[in-house]
Amino acid sequence: MYIAIEGIDTAGKSTQIAKLSEAFPHAIITKEPGATDIGIEIREMVLSARAKSKKAEFLLFLADRAEHIKEVIEPNINKMIISDRSAVSGVAYALIQGEIDKKDLVELNNFATNKIYPEKVFLLRLTKKELEYRLSQKELDGIELRGSEYLLRIQDAIVEATNLLGLELVEIDATQSIDSIAKKILNNINS
């Protein structure tokens, strides 16, 4: 089973993936962007916010995604795969930019992924108050520096992206306790 843990920065994706790796010790743990050698370089470019063109940023995500599918997902498709972000994030970021038609977003992602997507997408949803508190507790990267309103728009766009790609979405309140969130994810995986 291939699942993705989605959410804006500070939502607790890494924490929940660590919990899932305890429950599934033989799972393939991966991330987008940055799970391959090329992906590491692309991730650095995206997080530095050096790309002036939003289309260029989107195409960087697509290049990483194509490499990720080829190197990580396809060879392990019959195993448990837990991904920190997925195509859903790339589509969500592109949606809020508004420079690429929705139909083109889907077609380009189908091309990059060979139509291989997570079976379930878990969105760890934050409130504005909790997001702002969590951001105040860390050094911000180029994406986080765009502010809480921007990140909350991405959170909403994750829902729209999941719908556009026709994927199963499970939304979870990320302000709950770590164990409560983990239990909800595990129960859903096992149902």
Q: 76 lies in which domain range?
A: 2-190
Tens of pLDDT, residues 118-129: 999 999 999 999
Cβ atoms < 10 Å from Cβ of 111: 12
**CA–CA separation, 31 and 10 (whole Å):** 15
Mean pLDDT (the chain) is 92
pTM of the model: 0.91
Pure H helices in 8-116? 13-23, 37-47, 54-68, 87-97, 102-113
CB 79 within 8 A of CB 27: yes
Domains in the chain, number:
1
pLDDT recorded at residue 142: 66
Max CA separation in the chain (angstroms): 44
What residue has token string 């291989």? 116
**30 bridge partner residues:** 83
Q: What would the pLDDT profile of 92-109 be if each residue is shown by its tens digit? A: 988 998 889 999 999 999
**Residues found in the chain:** 191
Here the CATH number for the domain that contains residue 50 is 3.40.50.300
